[in-house]
Amino acid sequence: MKKAFLSVLLLLSSASAAQIKGADGVTVNISNPKRVVALNATTVEMIYRLGKQKTIVGTDVTGVYPPNKIPSVGHWAQLPVEGIISLKPDLVIGTADNFAAGKNGTVVQQLRAAGVKVLVLPASDTGGLSGVKTRLNMLGHVYNVPNAAASLTKSFDTTMKVVAANKPKKTPKVIFLYAHSASDASIYGTEGGANELITLAGGKNAAPFKDTKALTAEALVAINPDAIVMLERGLEGVGGIEGLLKMPGIAQTNAGRNKRVYTVDNSIRWIGPRLPEFALKLARQFKADFR
């Protein structure tokens, strides 16, 4: 962890200025930023946790927690360069996965060519809780509040000790079902925030692949999960438990027969500072059902 942390930081050059090496290898000189465009839900959350939310002048559509009125520049996979520049930021902070997604491949270069400073944080969809700590510590240096960041990372460890004490005795086989509707659903593989959550909570992701695959009855029955985890809006989109049981293969699984379906926060695909809280909630639910 320490080695990884040092690899992305060059560290403070004075009490109010820092040189920080981003995940893209580019070092950014940062001094007391006052107008920040914070891209990715987890970036917004972490800046809030550091008490620096008043510096945020823009975000993307995912930056809605804690509830706020921050102007949105648009969809996270189609970041508009001109829209970001129009907010006159003195710093843009985003994550490597956001900048690589969809049509965002040239966004960082375009912003820098326009004279806008851009700090690229490590990806928010990999790295687990260690990744969260690394990004939080980088932001602590951005805002010259490293002690606050360190205190928050310690609180994660405290919560994770409680999680460990609340894991189920029997490890359930789990799938994460991502659904927009009953006719549009897929199973998430063994990468990403959903997988991290399932593992931390004491389950085993039963998906036999890394990526995402469309749901089929045959595949689901073959996996026969003990439990299904879904986004809150996903379960709502399929019509609740009763609607879910009508989807291909669901009722033929152990999870379907026992109605062991658990919902998680809609932001879980991005691994953020609430991961320990989410893990504790799910661990307690698993423990109650898999003794």
Distances (CA, A) of 101 to 94, 120, 227: 12, 13, 30
| First-residue to last-residue Cα distance in the chain | 33
∠ CA 188-194-198, rounded to 5°: 110
pTM: 0.89
Please state the rounded mean pLDDT for residues 276-281: 97
Residue 7: the pLDDT is 46
pLDDT digits (tens, 9 = 90+) for 79-136: 999 999 999 999 999 999 999 998 898 999 999 999 999 999 999 998 999 999 999 9
3-state SS assignment for residue 208? coil
Percent of the chain having pLDDT more than 90?
Answer: 83
Give the C-alpha separation, 46 to 256, whole Å.
37
3-state SS assignment for residue 147? helix
pLDDT digits (tens, 9 = 90+) for 142-173: 999 999 999 999 999 999 999 999 999 999 99
pLDDT digits (tens, 9 = 90+) for 6-34: 444 544 444 568 999 999 999 999 999 99
